[in-house]
Amino acid sequence: MHKYFFPVIGLFFLCFSCEQPVASSNEEETPTEDLNSEIHAAAKTTNLSTAIVGNTHSPYVKLKSIPIGDCRWTEGFWADKFKVAEEVMVPYMGTLLTGDTGHALNNFKIAAGLKEGEHKGMFWHDGDFYKYMEAAMYIYAINRDEKVLAELDEYIHIIGKSQQADGYLQTQVTTRDNVSRYENRKFHEMYNTGHLLTSAVIHHRVTGQTNFLDIAVKHADNLYETFSPQPKELSRFGFNQTQIMGLVEMYRETGDKRYLELAEQFINARGKSKVEVDKTTRYGHIGDMVQERTPLREETEAVGHAVLALYFYAGAADVYAETGEQALIDALDRLWDNVANKKMYVTGAVGQTHHGVSSQNDMVHEAFINDYMMPNATAYNETCANICNAMFSYRMLGVKGEAKHADLMELVLFNSALSGISIEGKDYFYANPLRMSNAADRDYSSTESRDREPYINCFCCPPNLVRTIAKVSGWAYSLSDNGVSVNLYGGNELSTKLADGSGLKLTQKTNYPWDGNISITVDEAKAEAFDVLLRIPEWGDGAQVQINGTKAAIVAEPGTFATINRTWKKGDVITLDLPMDIHLVEGNSLIEEVRNQVAVKRGPVVYCLETPDLPAGTSILDAYLPADAGLTATYKPEMLGGITEISGDFLLRKDKKNKMYNVLTKPEWERRKTSLVPYFAWSNRGEAEMTVWLPMVWQSK
């Protein structure tokens, strides 16, 4: 039996206490090292690492991840999205990345000596392929289609042949004669490494096979041997730090503590070096751009490239889950708050600018900028950044156990994540602005596009989004000390084991997010009392909870988990009724770009106005929302894959003025019935203008 093989026999928990931290760099090592060996020796026989985030043993996690496949979508919104992922998104992406368009598999074949040619695609294209493989694994975990597994085994064989004898694995480097290892961080070796390690761990958890994990172990060992001595020339190297998350998962999977130590070392390296241009920087982007001006534990503001920052924060949250270092979680709390309450769009999107400067005047791109600086038409909001925002919040949900983190996850999933892919599942946005107007002069020459594209040369976002859609059922529930939390709502079946090893089966039925009525039936439960934690969304004022048709004696406070503790029996039904009122949302007065404007939101879904719903020739810039619009919601199952449309009276301004500034006169209005669609569904009906924010007219008569 391979030394890293954990038989797939289900989820059981240790009877002895493992609530001791793994030592951080400033703690004594010996006693923790011994305990760590005990924990992972047990893990190898009880298969405790079967979740997307394998935090089952992590001593500083309050809500622990359920095993992959324990929750399955059965009906409604997410079931429909998973079906599209299974039947269209993943297969279509496979044709791109294994063929000549995406060329990613070709790069591995060239590196393996199986094909002649040159590396094509971005330097981070290996990572894109690993994410695609991860998406396929989540699909396989549900449908157990042996064809999927066979394809993955073929890819793994090729990847193994492309690996160097000492474990190094980067096709963008080994296929070039004039490039050395870790010569320049523009080659994104750390980014590719993180996705390799994560994908290999997920493959092992889903299949029980070790062929991919063996490759990852060799590569992680090489990374440790290269970086653990902390050579000065590599002290600034890890700037796109997916490797931190990957190393923590490797530690959880194998019990090799060196991987956790190296993950923490990469965190500690930020902010220790003098900020200056060197040969490993790209386009002079230094300092705040790559989170190297301030040590993480001292940082108070989210800065620089939004994807780089949020991968970094998510990795640090994984490290905290193992070490319990207070300074680390304090910093992450500050940063989460700064992102969520000062730099995040109403859609959950982040990364306000394509090109700009940080608050400390460092040049940045695809990045956070100053607090409350929230442009709409030029908002960048890279799809990857939005997804990373949810990934960071998922980890914070685990370590903190607070509903606000699940609220943010849901906001991203229903809005700024799904906007990155078409309803049919084959076309992609890289950037996600909140306003698109024909009047705006925009540069679409790089990663931005007027409409979704069937292939983007910078292909990091599509597989990131597809793997997220494929795995989101694994985010729907978490395990508490004595119960289960319901993080996300949607028609599903849960079959899992609680912390004490007892079986739990639930069936959830709902048409959420279009309908706020949610029923959860207990199909199997232990005889002793345990908790069911229901997330009451921050917008859910007036939520009602019933048990078997009787109002529950609990407080359903918005923005919290409502805890129901009781002895459950088969057939018990929990009903959560969330009011799905249409809300007009205004921005903080410090957000200059949305003064005197509103966004329309119903439940977790943000809406937008699109020109297909306006009279021909009318621009979204001519549309105003009157206070007496009389907005109503109507579910339309055949429209845009099944959506709830919001309709009402809008005012179209007829006295158009073309000067830059004009003397104010009383506007001339035309009152017209029009509709709003969910933001994620825009640009699915041909080329269109769109806006989330609408100028408000309080008196229309």
Kindly state whether residues 559 and 444 are assigned to the same domain: no
Kindly state whether residues 269 and 394 are assigned to the same domain: yes
Kindly state whether residues 409 and 553 are assigned to the same domain: no
β-pairing verdict for 560-566 and 643-653: unpaired
Bridge partners of 653, per DSSP, are: 669
Identify the weakest region by mean pLDDT among 49-63, 277-291, 384-398.
Answer: 277-291
Residue 193 has pLDDT above 80, yes or no: yes
pLDDT, position 285: 74
C-alpha closest to that of 339 among 359, 377, 363, 368: 368
pLDDT, position 404: 98
pLDDT, position 216: 98
pLDDT, position 278: 67
- List b or e across 282-321, with b for residues whose CB sees 16 or more CB atoms inside 10 angstroms: beebbbbbbbbbbbbbebebbbbbbbbbbbbbbbbbbbbb
HEC secondary structure over 340-376: HHHCCCCCCCCCCEEEEECCCCCEEEEEECCCCCCCC
Where does residue 298 fall: left (phi above 0), alpha (psi -120 to 50 degrees), or beta otherwise? alpha
Please tell me the distance from the alpha carbon of residue 538 to that of residue 586, in angstroms, as a whole number. Answer: 16
Kindly state whether residues 376 and 509 are assigned to the same domain: no
Q: Between 517 and 232, where is the model more confident?
A: 517
Is residue 38 within 8 A of residue 527, CB to CB? The reply is: no
Phi, psi of 484 (to 5 degrees): -140, 140
C-alpha closest to that of 192 among 63, 295, 104: 104
Confidence of residue 700 (pLDDT cuts 50, 70, 90): low
**Residue numbers of the domain that contains 489:** 477-577
C-alpha closest to that of 398 among 15, 32, 57: 57
Q: Which of the listed residues 554, 577, 600 is the one where a domain comes to its end?
A: 577
The enclosing H or E element of 575 equals: strand 573-577
Whether residue 414 is contained in a domain is answered as yes
Give mean pLDDT, residues 266-291: 80
Total number of domains in the chain: 3
The enclosing H or E element of 677 equals: strand 669-678
425 half-sphere exposure, CB direction, 13 A CA radius: 21
List, for residues 87-146, the tens digit of each pLDDT value. 999 999 999 999 999 999 999 999 999 999 999 999 999 999 999 999 999 999 999 999
The percent of residues above 90 in pLDDT, for the chain, comes to: 82
C-alpha dihedral (352, 353, 358, 361), degrees to nearest 10: -150
Kindly state whether residues 433 and 456 are assigned to the same domain: yes
Domain CATH number, residue 454: 1.50.10.10
Whether residue 47 is contained in a domain is answered as no
Q: Which of the listed residues 418, 446, 475 is the one where a domain comes to its end?
A: 475
Please tell me the distance from the alpha carbon of residue 219 to that of residue 200, in angstroms, as a whole number. Answer: 11
Q: Which residue has the tokens 């902010």?
A: 271
- Structure tokens given for 200: 């290999």
Confidence of residue 172 (pLDDT cuts 50, 70, 90): very high
Sign for the CA dihedral angle at 357, 360, 362, 364 comes to negative
Kindly state whether residues 468 and 400 are assigned to the same domain: yes
Distance set, CA 448 to CA 416, 434, 436, 512 (Å):
15, 13, 12, 32
Three-state SS at 428: strand
Where does residue 10 fall: left (phi above 0), alpha (psi -120 to 50 degrees), or beta otherwise? left
List, for residues 97-112, the tens digit of each pLDDT value. 999 999 999 999 999 9
Contacting residues for 141 by C-beta, under 8 A, at least 6 apart:
68, 69, 206
pLDDT, position 43: 37
pLDDT, position 6: 40
pLDDT, position 49: 63
Give mean pLDDT, residues 168-196: 94
Bridge partners of 678, per DSSP, are: 607
Kindly state whether residues 618 and 630 are assigned to the same domain: yes
Q: What are the DSSP calls for 592-644, one per residue?
A: GGGTTEEEEEETTEEEEEEGGGS-TT--GGGEEEETT---EEEEETTSTTSEE
- Structure tokens given for 23: 């030592």
Kindly state whether residues 237 and 371 are assigned to the same domain: yes
pLDDT, position 45: 36
Any idea what the Cα angle at residue 327 is, between residues 321 and 329, rounded to 5°?
40
Identify the weakest region by mean pLDDT among 28-42, 221-235, 237-251, 497-511.
Answer: 28-42
pLDDT, position 445: 59
Confidence of residue 280 (pLDDT cuts 50, 70, 90): low
Please tell me the distance from the alpha carbon of residue 350 to that of residue 366, in angstroms, as a whole number. Answer: 9
Contacting residues for 683 by C-beta, under 8 A, at least 6 apart:
422, 429, 436, 451, 452, 610, 690
HEC secondary structure over 442-496: CCCCCCCCCCCECCCCCCCHHHHHHHHHHHHHHHCEEEECCEEEECCCCEEEEEE
pLDDT, position 566: 97
Is residue 655 within 8 A of residue 661, CB to CB? The reply is: no
Confidence of residue 652 (pLDDT cuts 50, 70, 90): very high
Kindly state whether residues 389 and 404 are assigned to the same domain: yes
Q: Which residue has the tokens 């000067």?
A: 659
pLDDT, position 281: 63
The percent of residues above 70 in pLDDT, for the chain, comes to: 90
652 half-sphere exposure, CB direction, 13 A CA radius: 17
Kindly state whether residues 625 and 668 are assigned to the same domain: yes
Q: What is the DSSP letter of 240?
A: S
Residue 272 has pLDDT above 90, yes or no: no
Confidence of residue 15 (pLDDT cuts 50, 70, 90): very low
Across all residues in the chain, what is the average pLDDT? 91
Three-state SS at 673: strand
β-pairing verdict for 363-368 and 304-305: antiparallel
Residue 46 has pLDDT above 70, yes or no: no
Whether residue 50 is contained in a domain is answered as no
pLDDT, position 676: 98
Whether residue 29 is contained in a domain is answered as no
Taking the whole predicted model, whether its pTM rises above 0.95 is answered as: no
Whether residue 626 is contained in a domain is answered as yes
Confidence of residue 659 (pLDDT cuts 50, 70, 90): confident
Kindly state whether residues 570 and 597 are assigned to the same domain: no
Kindly state whether residues 285 and 425 are assigned to the same domain: yes
Give mean pLDDT, residues 464-485: 98
Contacting residues for 227 by C-beta, under 8 A, at least 6 apart:
234, 237, 238, 262, 265, 266
Q: Which of the listed residues 525, 560, 577 is the one where a domain comes to its end?
A: 577
Confidence of residue 58 (pLDDT cuts 50, 70, 90): very high
Whether residue 93 is contained in a domain is answered as yes
List, for residues 493-532, the tens digit of each pLDDT value. 999 999 999 999 999 999 999 999 999 999 999 999 999 9
Whether residue 19 is contained in a domain is answered as no
Residue 212 has pLDDT above 70, yes or no: yes
Whether residue 502 is contained in a domain is answered as yes
Tell me the residue type at 371.
D
Domain CATH number, residue 532: 2.60.40
Confidence of residue 283 (pLDDT cuts 50, 70, 90): low
Where does residue 144 fall: left (phi above 0), alpha (psi -120 to 50 degrees), or beta otherwise? left
C-alpha closest to that of 183 among 200, 170, 164: 170
Q: Between 445 and 536, where is the model more confident?
A: 536
**CB atoms inside a 10 Å sphere around CB 633:** 18
